[in-house]
Amino acid sequence: MKDLTKMKESLVNYVEELDEDNSIKLAKEVLNEGIDPIYLLDLMNEGMKRVGKLYDCKDYYIADLIMAGLIFRQVLELEEMTDFFRGTYDKKTGKIVMGTVKGDIHDIGKDIFRYMLEAYGFDVIDLGVDVSREIFLKNVEKHNPDILALSGVLTSTVDEMKEVVNSLKEAHLRDRVKVIIGANHLTHDALKFIGADAFATDASVGAKLCREWMNAENGQGVKGNV
Ligand code: B12
């Protein structure tokens, strides 16, 4: 019988130490032991937070952040993980346009959110990273989504998120789309400042909220024009 608690601790430590081989090997092992994939992401996130702290203290450098990102990405793309996120809904729940705002190239949290939405049966148009307000606007006009989701891991993205929402207002589109913003640093004050409808510091909380919005809108989670 394997000691799962010890395995989980070791996994966070391996990520912190940027030990690629052992992180991936152990991630596979804990999945085989039946750990919830969402919980595995939380463990990986804990390791990333420690990496971030080491970077803050100047013990780690940008190359170390890159390495941490690569390790997380490989775990996210393990077969067991992609199987877990594969959609089980045969009807389209709703349509979402999403992306990381201009000035920010972090995409792991955004991608986790996307996988969760896809698993819920959303039709997702992911615009990628470093997306300008003009591109967001163009795609809202083009796709007429139910929801616009903005990611911005850097604290400096708050102003850009506000500008995206302002662009929607100027184009008279704000009332036609719900806006959710997501990142660790977001707060109620930031939400108010930006003018979005909701914020989440956790992708799974955000994805659940989007599903609730759709259920409230049409009672069945299926949009008429999808
Ligand atoms: C890996 C990493 C990188 C990688 C990113 C690789 C990639 N493909 O994403 C690279 C090397 C590119 C990078 C670059 C930089 N980084 Co960096 N990076 C990190 C690190 C270590 C982990 C980020 C991560 O992937 N975490 C795991 C994922 C799952 O977490 P997440 O993205 O935050 O997502 C969670 C939530 O935010 C939320 N979420 C995210 N998006 C969305 C969207 C929606 C709609 C919802 C609902 C939820 C949601 O859900 C997720 C959890 O469930 C963090 C440290 C940390 N504490 O996070 C620093 C960190 C974010 N980086 C930081 C910095 C400073 C930088 C650089 C400026 C460094 C530099 N000098 O160049 C550049 C910025 C480049 C740019 N223009 O964007 C700082 C930011 C500080 C700040 N105050 O803004 C951090 C916090 C490190 C630190 N402590 O200093 N980085």
How far is it, in rounded angstroms, from Cα 122 to Cα 97?
10
What angle (nearest 5°) sits at the alpha carbon of residue 214, between those of residues 211 and 219? 115
How far is it, in rounded angstroms, from Cα 149 to Cα 68?
25
How far is it, in rounded angstroms, from Cα 11 to Cα 22?
8
Decide: 90 in ligand 1 pocket, CB within 6 A: no
Question: What pLDDT digit, counting tens, does each position of 57-90 carry?
Answer: 999 999 999 999 999 999 999 999 998 888 666 5
Q: Specify whether the CB–CB gap between 102 and 147 falls below 8 A.
A: no
CA 166 to chain centre: 23
How far is it, in rounded angstroms, from Cα 219 to Cα 111?
27
Decide: 11 in ligand 1 pocket, CB within 6 A: no
pLDDT of amino acid 112:
93
Class of domain 4-85: mainly alpha
Confidence of residue 224 (pLDDT cuts 50, 70, 90): very low
Kindly state the average pLDDT of the residues 158-178.
97
Instruction: Kindly give the distance from the C-alpha atom of residue 52 to the centroid of ligand 1, in angstroms, as a whole number.
Output: 8
From 111-120, 126-135, 175-184, the region with the lowest mean pLDDT: 111-120
**What is the per-residue DSSP string for 43-93?**
HHHHHHHHHHHHHHTTSS-HHHHHHHHHHHHHHHTSHHHHHHHS---SS--
Question: How much of the chain exceeds pLDDT 90, in percent?
Answer: 85
Domain boundaries, the chain: 4-85, 95-218
Q: Whose CA is nearest to atom 9 of ligand 1?
A: 106
Decide: 76 in ligand 1 pocket, CB within 6 A: no
Question: What pLDDT digit, counting tens, does each position of 179-221 carry?
Answer: 999 999 999 999 999 999 999 999 999 999 999 999 887 654 4
Pocket test for ligand 1, best of 65, 125, 177, 209 (most atoms within 8 A of CB): 65
pLDDT of amino acid 86:
81
How far is it, in rounded angstroms, from Cα 84 to Cα 115?
9
pLDDT of amino acid 87:
61
pLDDT of amino acid 218:
62
CATH of 95-218, one of 3.90.1150.10, 3.30.450.370, 3.40.50.280, 3.20.20.60: 3.40.50.280
Decide: 43 in ligand 1 pocket, CB within 6 A: no
Specify the pTM. 0.93
pLDDT of amino acid 223:
40
What is the Cα gyration radius of the chain?
A: 18
Q: Whose CA is nearest to atom 84 of ligand 1?
A: 154
Question: What pLDDT digit, counting tens, does each position of 11-60 carry?
Answer: 999 999 999 999 999 999 999 999 999 999 999 999 999 999 999 999 99
Confidence of residue 93 (pLDDT cuts 50, 70, 90): confident
Instruction: Kindly give the distance from the C-alpha atom of residue 107 to the centroid of ligand 1, in angstroms, as a whole number.
Output: 8
Environment class of 122 (CB within 10 Å of its CB; exposed 0-12, middle 13-18, buried 19+):
buried
Instruction: Kindly give the distance from the C-alpha atom of residue 106 to the centroid of ligand 1, in angstroms, as a whole number.
Output: 5
Confidence of residue 92 (pLDDT cuts 50, 70, 90): confident
Decide: 184 in ligand 1 pocket, CB within 6 A: yes
